Amino acid sequence: MIAKIYRFDPGKDSQGHYDSYEVDITAEDRMTVMDLLQYIFDNLDGSLGFFSHSACQHGICGRCGVKVNGKACLACEKVLTGEDVVIDPLGQPVVRDLVVRR
């Protein structure tokens, strides 16, 4: 599957852009969007910014909110189907990539 992810670095970009990552995931893997983001961070692009550390990972704190294919969800709960996804930050202002000020 292809994960197209919004990227924004206020120190480098005047506006955001998308980076695409090809990841071998199927529905049987039962990976969440958070698992996907962590996989990309660990294996493909360590510069990706997203909420993970000190977040609950159980749908309680709400810190991991993102938009997947235009729909708001919690990254720690949204299970991937193996279809391509577009992941955007949820809300404004964007601090960096998928991290927004709350």
Q: Which residues contact ligand FES by CB under 6 A?
A: 55-57, 59-64, 74, 76
Looking at beta carbons only, is 10 or 62 nearer to ligand FES? 62
Q: Please, what is the minimum distance in Å from the beta carbon of residue 99 to ligand FES?
A: 13
Q: How many whole angstroms separate alpha carbon 11 and alpha carbon 95?
A: 10
Looking at beta carbons only, is 37 or 94 nearer to ligand FES? 37
| Best CA proximity match to 75, nearest among 45, 101, 49 | 49
Q: Please, what is the minimum distance in Å from the beta carbon of residue 13 to ligand FES?
A: 26
Angle at 19 between CA 35 and CA 54, to 5 degrees: 35
Greatest alpha-carbon span in the chain: 39
* Tokens coding 64: 């991991």
Looking at beta carbons only, is 63 or 96 nearer to ligand FES? 63
DSSP state of 92: S
Q: Please, what is the minimum distance in Å from the beta carbon of residue 15 to ligand FES?
A: 27
